[in-house]
Structure 1
Amino acid sequence: MLKIGVDIRNLMSPTRTGVGEYTYELLNSVFKIDKENQYYLFYNSHTDVTQHTPLWPQGNIHYIATRWPNKLFNTSIKILDWPKLDKLISRNYKLDYFFSPNLNFTALSKNIKKILTIHDLSFKFFPQFFSAKQRLWHWAINPKKQCGRANNILALSENTKRDLVNYYKIPAEKIKVSPGGISAIFNNPVFDKEKIKQKYNLPNRFILCLGAVEPRKNIIGLIEAFEKTYSLLPNSYSLVIAGSGRGWKNKAIYARALASPLRDKIEFIGYVDAEDKPGLYSLAELFVYPSFYEGFGFPVLEAMAMGVPVITSNCSSLPEITGQAAYLVNPNRPAEIAEGIIKMLTDEKLREHFKKAGLEQVKKFSWDITAKQWLELISTP
């Protein structure tokens, strides 16, 4: 029986980003399988976040919470390499593993085996897409050093593994590619389309993009593409942009939308509750995700799972994840994105092709498989 510490600090927020979704779905699937190993879920917050932290009520899962002010906690780890998280979990026994599902301030005793998930290196390749505070945060946590300290690294795509090998010089044998899956809410979902339309004030026909409102998602490029297509389409479409408005460096995005001659056709609907996502996707005519860089890209698979044709970028992990099941475009060329939108909304055979291909492609991804890969990793001496 193993004793495993797990960092769940990214699950303290009332809304979840892709990293939070990854952490929750992976742990949820692991805990369904593993009833024997002991898991110690660690988080730190000066305020009470128990209403947001997921609860797994089974005997081998234990919660360890500290109440330090986060700035003090992180500064102490950065400067003093203290407190050791394994010692906060228990001074009476030694952990066999500590799992970090994302980069964060982490100090561990030397003999603790660490498993670290790296989602992407966007902060390295596109620092201009991050705020000064975020750049300072990434400098402070020292991702390269953390990768060097880890005994095993999980990457969600071959693309991220290549980046780690090429830019951090991490030995390839230390990195295991273990893609994410699709949430169970997308398996035969039941939803009321009219209620979802009313809740989010959705138009009758729309093109959908879902993701945090921040520069890396290339929303300005999508707006430019939408403007180029509007007069060339046989029907009137709106552009619906869903995702947390708590993104960063997004003032220019909102300003560009307001300055658009089609501003009345561009709608930001904010964060979408997880249970509403299947219905939202199913209402869309087309899903467009022209991100400049993704370590995985959960939304493209979610759209495919709901039978929505997908346009996405021809770079980073997205071609790898979508295979032949998405229409790929250069995200730096709004005219190319526009061309894809026109083709998808005027060629019914093409739409049907990508709908069927997407439904087949998404079958390749399963949280059960990812969980089993994770359990194999901790079972290997």
Structure 2
Amino acid sequence: MFSLHEAQKREIEDVYGVPAERIRVAGTGYDRTVFREGLNPRAVDRAEVAYVGKISRKKGVESLLRCLDLLPLPKDRLAVRLVGGHSTEDDLARMRALAKEVRFPVEFAGKVDQDELVRTYQRAHVFVLPSFYEGLPLVVIEALACGCRVVVTDLPGIREWLDESVPGAPVTYVQPPRMVGVDEPAQEDLPAFEQRLARAIERSAQEALQPARCEDAPVDMARLSWNALGARMLELVAATSLQVGAAAL
């Protein structure tokens, strides 16, 4: 059996009773021929923040919108673009109403094609995923591949896998609120979570707008390509087959 990361591996053990030696961590992969840094430089006068995913409360979008006014930045120094569909019209209307109260410009781009998605990543300085539940979010990998700094909720398995797969990647982890369900946060914890989220976005935005330094080398994403993922899975299958054959003898 394959798992995305070690935390999911432990969950498979617990839920399905599968022995640990039968579970292999494969991770995920992205199309490196599509998701890569653009040729045009990013803006230097304001930070562009991007979110990609469903426009819903359980993905943390309400908290993202509420935290924006906690940022001690001039209103012309930051802009936000939200990309993705929505569950219901009521959800979208609630998010739009929240966005109107924010002093920074917030764009609801809706669903976009792949070319426009890539352009969104390439223009953004900071990619934010404030979700309350994830497996191993591919959007984080795509954003890193396109040169974004990333702010993501510190959910089980994500930090461990990224630290191993792309050490030194510009990722800031935000402690999540307590959960009262799989994807339902404790409401009384949200104000503190939004404070932490705002601090992480501010720090990442300020760093992104600093002049490039020689030590800011691009992150090596080769291990996360589709080809690398396929090779890794084939290698794991071959090694398992040899073990099974040896045991049969």
| Fold conserved between structures, TM > 0.5 | yes
| CA distance in structure 2 between the aligned counterparts of 1:344 and 1:269, rounded to whole angstroms | 23
Report the CA distance shift for 1:351/1:310 in structure 2 as closer, same or farther (over 3 A).
farther
- Write the letter of the residue equivalent to 1:251: D
Q: Kindly indicate whether the alpha-carbon contact (under 8 Å) linking 2:83 and 2:109 is maintained by their aligned counterparts in 1.
A: yes
Matched, 1:185 2:33: yes
- Write the letter of the residue equivalent to 1:241: L
> For structure 2, which runs of at least 5 residues remain unmatched after alignment?
178-192
Report the CA distance shift for 1:240/1:307 in structure 2 as closer, same or farther (over 3 A).
same
Q: Residue in 2 aligned with 1:171?
A: 19
Matched, 1:338 2:231: no
Displacement of 1:168 after TM fit? 3.4
What pairs with 1:28-47 in structure 2 (closer than 5 Å)? none
Flag the structure with more relative contact order, 1 or 2, with Cα contacts below 8 A and sequence separation at least 6.
Answer: 2
SS of the equivalent of 1:186 reads: coil
Report the CA distance shift for 1:239/1:162 in structure 2 as closer, same or farther (over 3 A).
same
Q: Kindly indicate whether the alpha-carbon contact (under 8 Å) linking 1:155 and 1:178 is maintained by their aligned counterparts in 2.
A: yes
What pairs with 1:76-155 in structure 2 (closer than 5 Å)? 153-155=1-3
- Write the letter of the residue equivalent to 1:185: T
Matched, 1:156 2:4: yes
Q: Kindly indicate whether the alpha-carbon contact (under 8 Å) linking 1:240 and 1:267 is maintained by their aligned counterparts in 2.
A: yes
| CA distance in structure 1 between the aligned counterparts of 2:54 and 2:147, rounded to whole angstroms | 22
Render the CA deviation track for 1:90-137: whole Å, top value 9, x for unaligned.
xxxxxxxxxxxxxxxxxxxxxxxxxxxxxxxxxxxxxxxxxxxxxxxx
SS of the equivalent of 1:228 reads: coil
**Once structures 1 and 2 are overlaid, which stretch shifts more, 257-266 or 283-292?**
257-266
Matched, 1:244 2:79: no
Q: Kindly indicate whether the alpha-carbon contact (under 8 Å) linking 1:331 and 1:337 is maintained by their aligned counterparts in 2.
A: no
Q: Residue in 2 aligned with 1:292?
A: 132
| CA distance in structure 1 between the aligned counterparts of 2:119 and 2:49, rounded to whole angstroms | 14
Report the CA distance shift for 1:307/1:372 in structure 2 as closer, same or farther (over 3 A).
same
Displacement of 1:244 after TM fit? 2.7
SS of the equivalent of 2:82 reads: strand
CA RMSD across the alignment? 3.2
- Identical columns (%): 23
Q: Residue in 1 aligned with 2:174?
A: 329
Size of the alignment, in residue pairs? 214
Q: Considering only CA atoms, is the larger Rg found in Structure 1 or Structure 2?
A: 1
Of residues 64, 67, 83 in structure 2, which corresponds to 1:225? 67
TM-score (norm 2): 0.72
SS of the equivalent of 2:144 reads: helix
Q: Residue in 2 aligned with 1:14?
A: none
Q: Residue in 1 aligned with 2:76?
A: 235
Matched, 1:313 2:153: yes
SS of the equivalent of 2:134 reads: coil
Q: Residue in 2 aligned with 1:364?
A: 223
TM-score (norm 1): 0.49
> For structure 1, which runs of at least 5 residues remain unmatched after alignment?
1-152, 194-203
Render the CA deviation track for 1:315-367: whole Å, top value 9, x for unaligned.
223212432420111233011000111112224588968x947x425333122
